[in-house]
Amino acid sequence: MEKGYSHSRTREHRLKRNRKRLILLAIILFVAGCITFIAIKVSDNQTHAPTQELAKKTDSVSKDSSKGKVNAGANGKAVSPKSDPEVEDGAFVEKYLKQQMLGQMPDGADGKKVAYLSFDDGPSVTVTPKILDILKKQKVKATFFIVGKEADENEHTRNIIKRIVKEGHAIGNHTYSHNYKYLYPNKRVSTDHVMQDIERNNKVLKSILGPEFTTRMIRFPGGHMTWNSRDPQGMAALDKVLHQKDYHQVDWNVLTKDAEGKSKKAPALINQFIRSVKGREKAIILMHDTYGKEETAKALPQIIEFLKKQGYEFKVMK
């Protein structure tokens, strides 16, 4: 009787001890599982936090870009809108040229070749229609920097302006008068005179294209870089006013020299263009469509074909 009772107590003690071990093991496994789960969550958050932050920034840039303006972020880099593949924001081009002129790597340098054909001093009834015919045949768009007094010359020139817009080209403001003595008296930049001439040109363009027409694109007669070197303080004051009004001036980095020196035949213009465009990723090309520029029209088809063979896409500036 005593032996049986002792054996029963020993077995009961062993069972209690085993239960304690199982409970302790379960607790250990539960704690280990909790620690593992927490570690995984922390690691997951650390991995995805930068991606989520980048997504927010990217979304912010996308929303800002869709407004049709170039927006500069904290790093000062310009963002070009992508809503229309044939349109480049003028502020993007302005900044690109400025940085390039300063010897800096432009923010917009991305390996993609883009050509921006631009024509100054028109319209003319002799040359502009020929250029428009060529552009239509080649299925290429360009930007025309219009002189107001030429546009408002007669019904023919007014109709040419309408055709430019109807066929999908862009229009920039090249002042109303193109008069150096008025715009730059005593070889100094006059903010008042330039702005008056720009606004007078705007009124002419609105009278032709309707009150809703606007353009943000400005090109100075003679070029911004020229007058900035001659009168940096005067140009700085003018630039400030332009940007307050959301105007953006663009010069050029490629030219045919169809307005420099003696008159040139088409082959000479083409050769000059090929030399000038070499190595340009974003080529802002200066040509003229005013009276006496028939050779420019003759050269244009080969210039466009050359750009196409070199892998350039074409955009207008707005």
Residues with a catalytic annotation lie at: 120, 288
- The whole-angstrom separation of Cα 260 and Cα 72 is 36
The residue written with tokens 């929303």 in the block is 63
- The whole-angstrom separation of Cα 236 and Cα 41 is 55
- The whole-angstrom separation of Cα 130 and Cα 17 is 103
Torsion, Cα 177 116 266 288, to 10 degrees, reads 0
Angle at 304 between CA 165 and CA 259, to 5 degrees: 80
- Phi, psi of 117, rounded to the nearest 5 degrees: -70, 130
Q: How many CB atoms neighbour CB 175 within 10 A?
A: 26
Contact 121, 288 (CB under 8 A): yes
Contact 257, 264 (CB under 8 A): yes
Interhelix angle 294-309/128-138, rounded to 10 degrees, is 20
Q: How many CB atoms neighbour CB 216 within 10 A?
A: 20
Residues in the chain: 318
Residue 38 structure tokens: 């927490």
